[in-house]
């Protein structure tokens, strides 16, 4: 994904480095070292559905502030997430998360009745605030979370992939039955390119690139806090 001149290549490498570094952080290690029981998987799954909903909030705000051609790119991105690809028999990602919950013994009702964890609520507010900043910071803040979930960019496996493997190991649920995780393993490889697609046209100056790096950095910080709260929630469910 080299972009060559104008510092874009350097910016891209830094973004990829930051994504990889997430997995070396204490909160990520804590979450990914947890042993998942059925109860923990259930709560993880429910909280992740809220996370997906917050992504929809943030991408909406980013769409609002971006230039028209970028709005069109985001609109198409949101089709997968919010609506699904009916022609290919693919449902939206919220429905997918709820459907995946069935393999952990969850009903749709459980998703509706379980509250968001407090730490998650705070992180969601922080992400929303970030999505209302300047559009380059905002788009970077949202897109970086998909880069962090791209197996193409994370040699040790994306977050969805790693969580999927833990479910496979601890709960003997094969990856193909984890329809939400396996969908994101594929989709976020594709979605991870969105930021560079936009940056090539709109981030040719040092200040624009700094805005992208700043938005990404702040979002990954919130991401670490969020994963830390998830790890704490898992630990509390014995």
Interface contacts to other proteins, rule CB under 8 A: 53, 56-66, 68, 71-72, 74-76, 78-79, 82-83, 92, 94, 128, 131-132
Cα angle 185, 228, 156 (rounded to 5 degrees) comes to 35
Which residues are CB-neighbours of 43 under 8 A, at least 6 positions away? 114, 233, 234, 237
d(CA 133, CA 147): 20
Two tokens, residue 106 = 């969850």
Closer residue to other proteins, CB minimum distance, 23 or 50: 50
CB neighbour list of residue 77: distance below 8 Å, 6 or more residues apart: 59, 191, 194
User: Which of residues 72 and 201 has its CB atom nearest to other proteins in the complex?
Assistant: 72
42: left (phi over 0), alpha (psi -120 to 50) or beta: alpha
- Min CB(206)–other proteins separation in Å: 25
From its phi and psi, is residue 178 left (phi > 0), alpha (psi between -120 and 50) or beta? beta
H-run or E-run covering 195: helix 194-202
CB of 185 to other proteins, least distance (A): 23
Comparing CB distances to other proteins, the nearer of 79 and 190 is 79
Among residues 60 and 214, whose Cβ is nearest to other proteins? 60
| In the complex, minimum distance from the CB of residue 54 to other proteins, in angstroms, rounded to a whole number | 10
CB of 168 to other proteins, least distance (A): 29
- Least distance (Å) between residue 88 CB and other proteins: 18
Q: How far is the CB of 68 from other proteins (least distance, A)?
A: 6
User: Pairing relation of β-strands 84-85 and 90-91?
Assistant: antiparallel
What is the closest distance, in whole angstroms, from the C-beta atom of residue 197 to other proteins in the complex? 17
Cβ proximity to other proteins: between 63 and 150 the closer is 63
Per residue, what are the HEC states of 144-183?
HHHHCCCCCCCCCCCHHHHHHHHHHHHHCCCHHHCHHHHH
- If the CB atoms of residues 14 and 57 are measured against other proteins, the closer one turns out to be 57
Nearer to other proteins, 24 or 109 (CB): 109
């Amino acid at each position: 994904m080299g972009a060559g001149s104008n510092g874009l290549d350097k910016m891209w490498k830094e973004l990829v480095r930051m994504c990889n570094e997430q997995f070396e952080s204490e909160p990520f290690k804590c979450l990914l070292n947890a042993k998942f029981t059925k109860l923990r998987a259930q709560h993880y799954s429910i909280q992740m559905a809220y996370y997906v909903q917050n992504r929809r909030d943030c991408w909406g705000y980013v769409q609002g502030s971006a230039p028209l051609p970028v709005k069109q790119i985001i609109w198409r991105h949101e089709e997968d997430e919010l609506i699904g690809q009916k022609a290919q028999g693919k449902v939206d990602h919220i429905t997918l998360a709820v459907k995946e919950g069935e393999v952990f013994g969850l009903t749709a009702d459980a998703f509706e009745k379980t509250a968001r964890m407090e730490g998650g609520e705070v992180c969601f507010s922080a992400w929303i605030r970030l999505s209302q900043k300047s559009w380059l910071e905002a788009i970077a803040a949202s897109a970086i979370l998909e880069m962090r979930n791209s197996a193409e960019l994370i040699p040790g496996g994306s977050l969805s992939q790693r969580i999927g493997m833990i479910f496979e190991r601890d709960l003997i649920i094969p990856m193909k039955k984890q329809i939400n995780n396996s969908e994101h393993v594929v989709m976020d490889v594709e979605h991870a390119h969105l930021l560079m697609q936009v940056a090539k046209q709109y981030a040719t100056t040092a200040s624009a690139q700094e805005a992208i790096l700043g938005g990404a950095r702040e979002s990954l910080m919130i991401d670490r806090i969020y994963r830390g709260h998830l790890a704490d929630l898992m630990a509390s469910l014995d």
